[in-house]
Amino acid sequence: MTVRPPARASLPGAPAGGYLHGVIDLLALSPEQMARTLAEWGQPAFRARQLHAWIHERGARSVDEMSDLPRALRQHLARHATIGTLAQVTEQRSADGTLKRLYRLHDGPLIESVLMPYDDGRRTACISSQAGCAMGCVFCATGQMGLTRHLSAAEILEQAWRFHAELKARGERLSNVVLMGMGEPFHNYEAAVDAVRRIVGELGIGQRHVTISTVGLVPAIRRFAAEGLQVTLAISLHAATDQARGALLPVNRRWPIGQVLEACRAYQAATGRRVTFEWALIAGQNDAPDEAHRLGRLLRGLRCHVNLIPLNPTAGYGGAPTAQADAAAFIEILARHGVPATLRLRRGIDIDAGCGQLRDRVLAASGPSPAPDPTGAGAREARDHPDPGAPAASPPRE
């Protein structure tokens, strides 16, 4: 079975061809599309390059800043174009500097983006690929809410672009982008990969500084291996036996661990990239020495890195994070198997920076959401076009 993203036309809310209510989103335009659009407006080709450079290289957030464009063109743009479509709802800054944003999509659903500054100068944006998620991983706040809709490539790009533009304005630089926010990027394959190409090509982020994290949609991993990209692939593993993984990640019943690891080897063979495995450490569930040995044996010989993250507790799951000493023992056992592992800091923990958690808190505080009812078009789309990535045994959550 192949992963077939739903036809673009069936996606509720994704602006078609960059136009929404007759206004064009300049961020939705590739350089070629921008050149075509400006040519239709009777502008010479270099104007498109200027406009593109203002937005992407210089991070201009308004046409007013574009001082070397003719006034008539600026007026036309002010009337007929926007730069992006996301509306910021809230923002929280953690004691560790992590910045968490909640955006409303033009048709209502809420998504999250996070910016993490590191002491070594890295600035990493963690962005969403879907509003909600259909994969139903039991410990994940986004999985607990179900899928509302896919994001367009422009909506994915815009999250990174906003941080890129803001950092640029204060003399800093967005250095890394991870698709680890809300949603399963490979369930929204074409938009996610298109966004990655544009993040690399137009925002100038090195391919090796972009990470796509997936729950393990095997056909999509294989397809991605053939894209000719050098981005880092991260696999959410979380358990070393099919039984244990299937209980946490229902998708494992469709694509078990052996198939996921085979696809990882194919990705490594095609790209030469080391694969990252993510493992949320859950006390008493997947943090015992035996489990570390099983994981070590499973990954032996694969050039990889294991990222261990103490579980971020969520409302819909009773598990607790592993104690520091047990995490250290887990790492030590993996090292004996020759598998490098690091314990990731739980950044932004004081501001609900676990994916899906800020949205939950804001919705709880503000009462019923003004966003479309989840029984609306987005959820219908998920129901009417059964999710190819979801397990046969358990339908996409809503």
24 residue type, one letter: I
Q: Does 250 bind ligand SF4 (CB under 6 A)?
A: no
Query: How far lies 31's CA from each of 36, 59, 139, 202, in Å?
Result: 9, 15, 40, 9
- 140 as an active site residue: the answer is no
Among 48, 77, 105, 137, binds ligand SF4 (CB under 6 A): 137
Among 188, 214, 232, 286, binds ligand SAH (CB under 6 A): 214
32, 112, 137, 332: which is the annotated catalytic residue?
A: 112
Window 189-228: contact mask with ligand SF4 (x via CB under 6 A): --------------------------x-------------
- Please tell me the distance from the alpha carbon of residue 385 to that of residue 383, in angstroms, as a whole number: 6
Smallest separation, CB 102 to ligand SF4 (Å): 16
Give the position of tokens 């574009």. Answer: 66
Is the Cβ of residue 52 or residue 347 nearer to ligand SAH in the bound state? 347
Closest to 387 (Cα-Cα) out of 198, 163, 135, 195: 135
Smallest separation, CB 298 to ligand SAH (Å): 17
Q: Does 390 bind ligand SF4 (CB under 6 A)?
A: no
Among 155, 184, 287, 352, binds ligand SAH (CB under 6 A): 184
Q: Does 133 bind ligand SF4 (CB under 6 A)?
A: yes
Smallest separation, CB 240 to ligand SF4 (Å): 17
Among 199, 309, 333, 334, binds ligand SAH (CB under 6 A): 309
126, 137, 355, 381: which is the annotated catalytic residue?
A: 355
Cβ atoms < 10 Å from Cβ of 257: 19
- 355 as an active site residue: the answer is yes
Q: Does 311 bind ligand SAH (CB under 6 A)?
A: yes
Q: Does 131 bind ligand SF4 (CB under 6 A)?
A: no
SS3 for 278? strand
Q: Does 251 bind ligand SAH (CB under 6 A)?
A: no
Q: In whole angstroms, how large is the CA radius of gyration of the chain?
A: 21
- Please tell me the distance from the alpha carbon of residue 62 to that of residue 74, in angstroms, as a whole number: 10
**Contact criterion met (CB below 8 Å) for 303 and 264:** no
Helix (H) or strand (E) run with residue 20 in it? strand 19-20
User: Cβ contacts of residue 73 below 8 Å, gap of 6+?
Assistant: 41, 43, 47
Judged by CB under 6 A, the number of residues near ligand SAH is 17
Strand partners, 110: 104
For residue 370, give the DSSP letter. S
Smallest separation, CB 389 to ligand SF4 (Å): 8
Q: Which stretch binds ligand SF4 (CB under 6 A): 55-63, 135-143, 218-226, 330-338?
A: 135-143
**Contact criterion met (CB below 8 Å) for 15 and 29:** no
Is the Cβ of residue 137 or residue 192 nearer to ligand SF4 in the bound state? 137
- Please tell me the distance from the alpha carbon of residue 231 to that of residue 163, in angstroms, as a whole number: 20
Smallest separation, CB 274 to ligand SF4 (Å): 21
Query: How far lies 263's CA from each of 65, 218, 302, in Å?
Result: 47, 6, 12
When CB distances to ligand SF4 are compared, the closest residue is 143
User: Cβ contacts of residue 201 below 8 Å, gap of 6+?
Assistant: none
Among 5, 109, 143, 354, binds ligand SF4 (CB under 6 A): 143
Cα 354–Cα 260–Cα 318 angle in degrees, nearest 5? 35
From the list ligand SAH, ligand SF4, none, pick the one residue 276 interacts with, judged by a Cβ distance below 5 to 8 Å according to partner type: none
Strand partners, 50: none
Smallest separation, CB 16 to ligand SAH (Å): 26
Q: Which residues bind ligand SAH (CB under 6 A)?
A: 137, 139-140, 180, 184, 213-215, 236, 278, 280, 309, 311-312, 314, 354-355
Residues known to be catalytic: 112, 355
Residues that bind ligand SF4 (CB under 6 A): 133, 135-137, 140, 142-143, 183-184, 215, 236
